[in-house]
Amino acid sequence: MSQQRPAPTDCPLRVTVPAGTAAGQALRDAGAPTSGPDALVVARDDGGVLRDLTWAPGTDTDVDGVPASSEDGRSVIRHSCAHVLAQAVQQLFPEATLGIGPPVTDGFYYDFDVARPFTQDDLASLEKAMRRILKAGQRFSRRVVESVDAARDELRGEPYKLELVDLKGDPTDEWDTSEVMEVGAGELTVYDNVHAHTGETVWSDLCRGPHVPTTKHIPAFRLLRTAAAYWRGSERNPQLQRIYGTAWESQEALDAHLEWLAEAERRDHRRLGAELDLFSFPEEIGSGLAVFHPRGGVVRRVMEDYSRRRHEEAGYEFVNSPHITKAALFETSGHLEWYADGMYPPMHLDAELAEDGTVRKPGQDYYLKPMNCPFHNLIYRSRGRSYRELPLRLFEFGSVYRYEKSGVVHGLTRARGFTQDDAHIYCAPEQLAGELKSLLTFVLDLLRDYGLDDFYLELSTRNEAKYVGSDELWAEATETLRRVATDSGLELVPDPGGAAFYGPKISVQARDALGRTWQMSTIQLDYGMPERFDLEYTASDGSKQRPVKIHRALFGSIERFFGVLLEHYAGAFPAWLAPVQAVGIPIADEHVDHLQQVAKALRSRGVRVEVDASDERMQKKIRTHTTQKVPFLLLAGGQDVGAGAVSFRFRDGSQVNGVGVDQAVDAVVSWIARRENASPTADDLPLGTS
């Protein structure tokens, strides 16, 4: 079921390039491919820097050829393709000025300042113009600009490029120009696109490079969509018009990528949610607020039940807290100070006016909760705590509401109301490392039980503009998390500035069946909240001590996790989670009773089973329940009834006929009980024909 993007290849070819010889020449002499998906597009020098193939080292240098089909090769193709796009845009829209045009994961974009936004039709004409450019075989020719002033002069019609030139000289600016591969590090370079025959420069762009030798080395591309984007990523800046595209080393690779995109669209949880009758977002309720239908509700309940059980086994205690609270609680926690923008506005209650209209009683602001943790602090504080109680692990499926900006709401994965599987662990400082370690193991094990098994970790560190607490505590907390993360042996990716205001966090990123990554669990360290709420415990020596708090969500949000699993499984949930686990399909009416008996036996053992007694034809029923992704279809006709048997049909179309009813029931029940995440097929269900 898993479908991945076209895999990059790597077929390194290393040669020694003699001083003064072009790297491309040396590689060609060594027999490097010059056409096809493995054709070299650039070279990597012995310092790891990517160079144009025309680059000629000053001394003898070892270089690697970089094939088009490698990750680096693809990036270069995409970057060059972005240039071709920009050239096409300025051909068709001469007034357009240029922003930046870097390669990104699976593609590239280029930003333009244009009089009117691009339309779909524009994309079609731009693709046409780009094909003409590719066909013309323009050469990408690197040129070092003598001075910053010369560059300014050359770029006088390009205000955004000028800004980049000026920024380059300003090391205090936080905008990293190298990241977007636009302006060179030590010097300013321009790439001229040179006509294949006349040698005339057709178009130029300020750019670090490197680039493919000629536009013929961009074998396949597609423009995908248009969007607006703020210049240099800040909403204080003007919005430019961005065009996204993708480019690949071959038509086949492009086609595979487009097919991957189409598969992602087919799996979109919003689409599957409607098709499988799982949930919806009624307009009447409001943006980002879902209702779960019976079938979605079952899946959710099973997900939650299993999680509950595992948490109980791991020493968690279950608590509950209300959805709204007076403002004071979020003043204490700091939410109103730091995150009021993300909260629904308050309800003002209980105010009373006197006869003359003056306020007699001021009233209170009540807020919908965006987080559960302040409530759990109150539970902790409800009585004195002993060190013997620690770690105290409080767990809640807590519904929270966050006023997400209208443009970011997205199905179940970014909602305004959702349920966190939220736990807060209060422990003594010396328990912290051990608790974090077992916590990470617990989290990963549980995610694996739901069928996700490809992880990496992200360490989010302090956002200097938004934090509370002392430097020492942050440093200590961050170091502790880093150690636990490193010890896990998983890949660790830094996320500077990504922490919440009260502490650093580790997040578990999971890759799904399409290779996409999702942030799942978060483990957050918090010294600040215990202080704000003045939480204490009595230590063994009778002294009062401050506990450390760990915030931890495993699914993150139930809704989001539901959406991720739905896409991961393309709607074909594992049998233990499937809303309907088995459907009985009679060949004719006279076989219904037999299947009702089978269904009764299954139901008595906890299986969610239905019998389709409608007067559709059997073939139609098979189709219906296959498209509904039911894992076990149990057919019965005259032969089965006569033999006291049923015939299995699975999602993949495989079948096992004439299985005795007892054996069939046992097989289904045990498959579900084992929580097998694969779809059952004739091959892996142990069924003998009776």
| Window 245 to 274, contacts with RNA (CB under 7 A) | 268, 270, 274
We find the least distance from the C-beta atom of residue 606 to RNA, in angstroms, to be 25
650, β-bridge pairs: 632
Task: Name residues contacting RNA, limited to 640-679 (CB under 7 A).
Answer: 640-641, 647, 649, 651, 653, 655, 657-658
Q: Is 239 in the site for RNA (CB under 7 A)?
A: yes
Q: Which of 524, 500, 374, 519 is nearest to 440 (CA)?
A: 524
Nearest to 83 by CA among 183, 195, 204, 202: 204
Give the Cβ contact number of residue 437 at 10 Å: 15
Among residues 38, 64, 111, 422, the one annotated as catalytic is 422
Out of 33, 137, 297, 342, which residue is the one contacting RNA (CB under 7 A)? Answer: 342
Based on the residue annotation, tell me whether 424 is a catalytic residue of this protein: yes
What mask of x and - would describe binding to RNA in positions 153 to 192, judged by CB under 7 A?
Answer: ----------------------------------------
Assigned token pair, 590: 């006279």
- Residue number, 57 or 273, with CB nearest to RNA: 273
373 catalytic, yes or no?
A: yes
652 is catalytic: no
Q: Which of residues 116-155 bind RNA (CB under 7 A)?
A: 117, 119
Amino acid at 11: C
Which pair of structure tokens corresponds to residue 25? 């020449």
Residue 414 lies near RNA (rule: CB under 7 A): yes
- What span, in angstroms and rounded, lies between the C-alpha atoms of 193 and 203? 5
Is residue 615 part of the contact set for RNA (CB under 7 A)? yes
Tokens representing residue 659 in the block: 């299985």
Q: Report the SS3 class of residue 240.
A: strand
Q: How far apart are CA 419 and CA 404, in angstroms?
A: 15
From the CB of residue 384, how many other CB atoms can be counted at a distance below 10 Å?
Answer: 10
* Residue 593 sits in the site that holds RNA (CB under 7 A): no
The binder of RNA chosen from 498, 515, 644, 660 (CB under 7 A): 498
Residues in contact with RNA, total (CB under 7 A)? 78
β-strand partners of 205: 191
Provide the β-strand partners of residue 193. Answer: 140, 203
- Select from 112, 281, 442, 450 the one that contacts RNA (CB under 7 A): 281
Q: Which of residues 509-528 bind RNA (CB under 7 A)?
A: 522, 524
State the CB neighbour count (10 A cutoff) for residue 37: 19
- Active-site residue, from 232, 402, 416, 462: 402
Active-site entry in 87, 138, 241, 420: 420
C-alpha atoms less than 13 angstroms from C-alpha of 495 in its C-beta half-sphere:
18
Q: Residue 54 carries which side chain, given as an amino acid letter?
A: T
- Would residue 505 show up in a list of annotated catalytic residues for this protein? yes
**Contact flag: residue 424 with RNA (CB under 7 A):** no
First to last CA, the chain: 31
Full DSSP string of 518-537: EEEEEEEEESHHHHHTT--E
339 binds RNA (CB under 7 A): yes
Nearest to 625 by CA among 676, 661, 581, 589: 581
Residues in region 289-308 near RNA by CB under 7 A = none
Which is closer to RNA, CB of 604 or CB of 627?
627
Choices 211-219, 298-306, 575-583, 610-618 (CB under 7 A): range interacting with RNA: 610-618
Q: Using the rule CB under 7 A, which residue among 151, 371, 520, 685 binds RNA?
A: 371
Catalytic residue among 83, 376, 551, 560: 551
Q: Which residues are catalytic?
A: 373, 402, 420, 422, 424, 505, 551
